[in-house]
Amino acid sequence: MSRSTEDLRTHVADTLVRGRARTTALTQVDEAELTAQHSPLMSPLVWDLAHVGNQEELWLVRDVGGRDPVRQDIDELYDAFKHSRSSRPSLPLLSPAETRGYVKTVREKVFDVLETSGLAGDPLQDKAFAFGMIAQHEQQHAETMLATHQLRRGAPALRAPGTPSPPVPVLPAEVVVPAGEFTMGTSTEPWALDNERTAHPVHLDGFAIDTTPVSNGQYQAFIADGGYARRELWSAAGWEHRVHAGLSAPQFWEHDAGGSWWRRRFGVTEPVPAREPVMHVCFYEAEAYARWVGRRLPSEAEWEKAARHDPASGRSRRYPWGDEAPTPSHANLGQRHLQPAAVGSYPAGASALGVHQLIGDVWEWCTSGFHPYPGFSAFPYEEYSQVFFGGDYRTLRGGSFGTDEVVARSTFRNWDHPIRRQIFAGFRCARDLSPGEMG
């Protein structure tokens, strides 16, 4: 067996272990908390945990490994397409003890499969794709469970060190991205999901994009200027939602009698940090803010060009800083902290064009809908991406402080309804160049 296959096997094992350690920590709450539904937008934590195990069983134990089922009788219970999140508490779910026993048994069988798989051959096994897909699936559900923790009431259940506090950086407000073609998407990333494929050329006119995400302090100025009451700043759909939902500030924010802003973060009430990227805003709020400052949200292609394009070589990088995997100096990822870091905190993670914090901290709303790339082919199942194309979805890029590095490549595409605020989403603004700036 080649050394490269052994290295890949070790990488898969390490990635699976890291994901399971995280989901285990997120479910270390008492039984009542584990089985409760903390919001109709979210599943009970115990459902997420069993669903993670069931997907592992379906794809790795049964499909890749060809092994007998562990619990075939629960497949329908944990099929995300058969039961809405709001209905899941009423299902005959496995108990917390049964769930933990089930995911443990499945994982033991998965490691047996990993030891015997050649990690090559058919598309599911080639370069350990199925293992990578399942590792990403678990980490995506871990971030969903983290959002559930943010929505739950009561004493804090999670702990993490604070973010670094660097000196206030001296950065330009925006970066100009010159007109031209770049390569969007990927055809070579081994664990890229179907909606990231295929690599294709995209020509963009020149534009300017914010150097960093919009901060809480900047967003507070929008609120103070009556941003939520000014109809002209909102799209028709955005204004309708703002009125219907009674939006007046980011979710989890409160204004006290003295004029100060406070937020609830994982069970702790604290002053809103002015230098952190604003978070828990929906697409419509981001859009209104951008209009308030005379700008707009970037398209998905503009975001990716700002993140990946290297004008010196003409190629698209894997990450903004290059092709090497992220380290703690590059980005705020993996739930190392329970909050975004102040804008400008990761200069080593800047893109070739000089745009900062494109990976980690907060997902960033883009104005684009969710559509397939040229050459798209559903793999390994239509329900991952294809059924979501179209509709009112808006794309989000870059990951958050709760996103693991296995997901946080610059081609990864997230999407959600434009009204969603429980996700760890913020934004940055862009603008078209004036004729004089186009050279």
Cα(430)–Cα(303) distance, integer angstroms: 9
Cα(356)–Cα(364) distance, integer angstroms: 13
- What pLDDT is recorded for position 439? 61
Q: What is the CATH number of the domain that holds 416?
A: 3.90.1580.10
66 and 204 together in one domain? no
Q: Are 55 and 74 in contact (CB under 8 A)?
A: no
Cα(428)–Cα(362) distance, integer angstroms: 10
Does some domain include residue 36? yes
Does some domain include residue 157? no
pLDDT tens across the length of the chain (439 residues) = 345 899 999 999 999 999 999 999 999 999 999 999 999 999 999 999 999 999 999 999 999 999 999 999 999 999 999 999 999 999 999 999 999 999 999 999 999 999 999 999 899 999 999 999 999 999 999 999 999 999 999 899 999 999 987 777 789 999 999 999 999 999 999 999 999 999 999 999 999 999 999 999 999 999 999 999 999 999 999 999 999 999 999 999 999 999 999 999 999 999 999 999 999 999 999 999 999 999 999 999 999 999 999 999 999 999 999 999 999 999 999 999 999 999 999 999 999 999 999 999 999 999 999 999 999 999 999 899 999 999 999 999 999 999 999 999 999 999 999 999 999 999 999 999 998 887 6
User: Could you count the other beta carbons within 10 Å of the beta carbon of residue 151?
Assistant: 16
According to DSSP, the β-strands at 207-210 and 174-177 are antiparallel
330 and 364 together in one domain? yes
- What pLDDT is recorded for position 3? 54
345 and 204 together in one domain? yes
Last residue of a domain, one of 151, 181, 214: 151
Question: What is this structure's pTM?
Answer: 0.96
- What pLDDT is recorded for position 129? 97
Last residue of a domain, one of 90, 118, 151: 151
Last residue of a domain, one of 122, 151, 180: 151
Cα(291)–Cα(415) distance, integer angstroms: 22
Range of the domain at 56: 3-151
Does some domain include residue 158? no
Cα 433 from chain centroid (whole Å): 29
> Residue 420 gets which letter from DSSP?
-
Does some domain include residue 159? no
> Residue 277 gets which letter from DSSP?
B
| SS3 at position 296 | strand
H/E run at residue 32: helix 31-35
**Both tokens assigned to 100:** 């933990």
- What pLDDT is recorded for position 4? 87
88 and 186 together in one domain? no
- Count: domains in the chain: 2
According to DSSP, the β-strands at 425-426 and 363-365 are parallel
83 and 215 together in one domain? no
> Residue 227 gets which letter from DSSP?
T
Q: Are 351 and 376 in contact (CB under 8 A)?
A: no
